[in-house]
A and B are shown apart, each in its own frame.
Chain A
Amino acid sequence: MTTIYEHDVIVVGAGGAGLRAAIAAHEEGADAALVTKLHPVRSHTGAAEGGINAALRDGDDWELHAYDTMKGSDYLGDAPAVEGLAQDAPEEVIQLEHWGMPFSREEDGRVSQRPFGGLSFPRTTYAGAETGHHMLHTMYEQVVKRGITVYDEWFVTRLAVTDDADPSERECHGVVAYDVATGEIAGFRATGGVVLATGGLGQVYEHTTNAVSCTGDGNAMAYRAGVPLEDMEFIQFHPTTLPSTGVLISEAVRGEGGILYNADGERFMFEYGYATNKGELASRDVVSRAELTEVNEGRGVHDDYVYLDMRHLGEDRIVDRLENILHLAEDFEGVDGLEEPMPVKPGQHYAMGGVETDEYGATCVEGLYAVGECACASVHGGNRLGGNALPELIVFGARAGRHAAGADLGDALIGTGRSGEVEEEDGLDLPVEPGATTGGDAVADGGAVTEAGSVVEAAVEAERSRVERLMERDDGVKHSEIRAAVQETMGNHVNVFREEEGIKQALRDIRKARERYEDVYVADPSRTFNTDLVQTIETRNVIDVAETIALGALARTEFRGAHWRAEHQERKDDEWLKHTFVTWNDGTPDLWYKPSVLEGEGGEYEPKVRSY
């Protein structure tokens, strides 16, 4: 017996982007449902600390926000998406306020804003240093109020997509999900659309600010269903994470005036010329490289980290605006931020790339959308500015929710799939073949049948046999070993600093991980809350996603934004003002490119030297 649940709009993931999408679809009159492998309030949006950029005040406007974002992206953002973010963010923030979000306030009772890295105006609205927590809970409250159906602890493992040869001809009819509590595998038919909002992929790295649940599920499922993954090589390493755990120390500490010192007590951002104007408030990629350079040149503390000092801000200001940072430093590093500087080092934080979408969140597959961190519209291009992730969630969450519910948002300016100026990559020197292994019976492919009536049913059947195969094996390799191997090679070779030979080694190691995954086994025999099985499925997603990151990193022979290559030390606009795409191509991945869209409402964004 196959259970098929049916809704107009199915939203996969219930963090900030997913919740906003569901609310928007509901407001548009659709029957929306959220399907999440956690419970909504457990989502990692809750860990976002710093704030939400929105041009709300006199002296600021959306054009300035768009300009800053485009510069921060190192001119790899697509103007229609960047401008959409800047234009819609103010209304979305005001909407959150009217839903009751407890923003920090000025004396006159208005919402406070503070400076953030790479911004020409202090436009980051915030709620203490726990902005994401309040945003997540405020939107979940509105979901409860509206009675939107939530399937919590249902892990979506496969998209129900037709298998037309050309991915742009495919249609998404729904998803397949695994009920963690009972082990039931059920179908979810979406008559309007499926919105992927699965969040980050930080588990590709060992040292990450991301939750253990951030395994790139949406990216991997869309990829296997034929949707291009865009600019995957652009991974943001946040400059201030705690060395022992990867727990994030918000950029707000620097926004409020926090200072970085090396082991010799030098304020290196200025003294060594990394960013002589902006200093600590340079863009994140700039600060991360500066810190690692200090460590590599022997000026790090214990050859591992640098210090972030906020003591001079005074107890009142720290407690008022950064109290959460005191708790994090105390609980996870044993440091009293009022008395001592905090140890910090770069850690994986954010994926700029993701599932290719237009500026409404639509992918090239009919009925499939992606929003939030798993998507690439592209707003962030080569590097995301602090405070730009949260507005992305609500702006594009709302747009995709409305679009999936049938609203007419007009024609998109950003093309998807292999449309427009496509350039194939055929000269890449690969050390091993990427993609599916030959004997891999645990390989999940996205393709399903073309008969429109039975796509969801067929996908459920395919997923049942995949799970059955994983459960069947009595012995073999543990998923935790495979995941650790992938994390290790990515951390060693596809990190802040990247070299050609290292990236190739990572591709070899990922290949090995794929081969070992053929022998992966689930030791827990139970159908009840089998996290062993859940993590085994997640590990497959981690492998697929890691491979696309490494492929993009090898292909892009320039230094742009967060992507640094030892052999290629400049930004090459003549050759590389273009997005990288990787498509699964039924197991034999393809690489190709399309130019970035720099033509905005007020003319073309002229690539300039990015200095801070």
Chain B
Amino acid sequence: MSTQEQEPATQEQEPPETESPGDRRRAEKQRRLAADRQAEAEAATTTDEETVLLKVFRYDPEVEDKQEPRFDDFHVPYEDGMTVLDALIYARDTFDSSLTFRHSCRQAICGSDALFVNGSQRLACKTQLSDLDAPVRVEPLPHQDVVKDLVVDMEHFYDQMHAVEPYFQSDDLPEGDLEEQRQSRENREKVKMSTRCIWCGACTSSCNIAAGDNQYLGPAAINKAYRFTMDEREADKKEHRLRILEQEHGVWRCQTQFSCTEVCPKDIPLTEHIQELKREAVKKNLKFW
């Protein structure tokens, strides 16, 4: 399933082949839902309120009239300060409760609601409608399998994040008095931006290389590795970490197109971090010549 298909909304009403009461019920429900949605959408367009038109990607492998991907129109009354997430919530709670998207914190820290809005990866909760051209086109993140509507399968993203050994290696607290490890302010500053990653997946979705090479670690995972490679508290693990990163599908795949850096909602300089790791890898290898 790719999000690149752009089917118009279809209104086929063929009676489904019912197999069980549950299926029959689902079929009945979806017909009712489609009718309600149409009626409410029409009602909304006839009012005088200032509305914003959202064109939202819909797909559900289980629901007959959503098996063919399509875009639904939602006319949402506009209020100052309204975000794309606010508009989606309004559309769901008012017009169609089956409209499905992940969201939780509403404040750009949980990383649940990265979406493809008007052709670029953005967090819905921190994207103001006033910054967008109408109609606002809302799609799931490209290059990931769509589960339903705006929800994509994140498993591969998580696998890549886990692949770089994203954790401090030492196990136990040292014997003796309770004491922290020392870290200079400079070093904390060096890793600071990399630690801000919220795992939203916007960067990886925007990356052409990741799209073509499924094994490529991708910008988010490499940034996670950067966070550990550069942390002076585990300087003795640096070589080990660089070995993971210089593998065939590691840092050398990056072609410095900066798309990841452009879309990152936390302003992490991802491309710079990848470049710096390339330099570190070269330095490490020179040492052994």
Contacts and interface: CB of A to CB of B under 8 A. Distances in A.
A152 B168 CA distance: 23
A522 B149 CA distance: 17
A524 to B, nearest CB: 3
A410 interface: no
A91 B178 contact: yes
Contacts of A531: 100-101
A478 B93 contact: yes
Interface residues of A, number: 68
Nearest to A532: B97
Contact of A46 (B97, B110, B166, B179): B110
Contacts of A134: 195
A366 B183 CA distance: 44
Nearest to A334: B81
Nearest to A139: B167
B180 A525 contact: no
Given A39-B158, A144-B166, A528-B148, A102 B81 contact: no
Given A104-B188, A105-B188, A526-B63, A42 B111 contact: yes
Contacts of B167: 99-100, 141-142, 144-145
Q: Which of A133, A474, A526 has the most CB of B within 10 A?
A: A526
Contacts of B183: 102-103, 105, 109
B168 A141 contact: yes
Interface in B30-49: 30, 32-33, 36
Contact of B104 (A38, A472, A474): A38
A58 interface: no
A41 B188 contact: no
Contacts of A332: 107, 126
Interface in A102-135: 102-111, 128, 130, 133-134
Contact of B32 (A94, A141, A474): A474
A247 B191 contact: no
B184 A211 contact: no
Nearest to B31: A525
Nearest to B192: A102
B233 interface: yes
Contacts of B103: 212
Nearest to A104: B188
B276 interface: no
A42 B25 CA distance: 34
B28 A98 contact: no
B112 A38 contact: yes
A244 interface: yes
Contact of B112 (A42, A334, A522, A532): A42
Contacts of A106: 185
A526 B98 contact: yes
Interface string B58-95: 00111100000000000000000100000000001100
A569 interface: no
B286 interface: no
A525 B30 contact: yes
B105 to A, nearest CB: 4
B29 A525 contact: yes
Contact of A98 (B102, B147, B173): B173
Contacts of B149: 529
A310 B105 CA distance: 25
B33 A526 contact: no
A83 B105 CA distance: 32
Given A105-B185, A245-B106, A41 B198 contact: yes
Contact of B184 (A104, A109, A472): A109
Contact of B180 (A39, A97, A145, A532): A97
A108 B180 CA distance: 12
A91 B172 CA distance: 12
A100 B60 contact: no
A382 B106 CA distance: 28
Closest 5 pairs (CB-CB, A-B): A109-B182, A525-B26, A524-B98, A100-B168, A141-B167
28 contacts: A42-B104, A43-B110, A47-B105, A90-B178, A94-B178, A94-B179, A95-B173, A100-B167, A102-B192, A104-B188, A107-B185, A110-B180, A111-B180, A134-B195, A137-B195, A211-B110, A212-B106, A245-B106, A245-B107, A248-B107, A480-B93, A523-B32, A523-B98, A524-B100, A526-B60, A526-B62, A527-B62, A529-B149
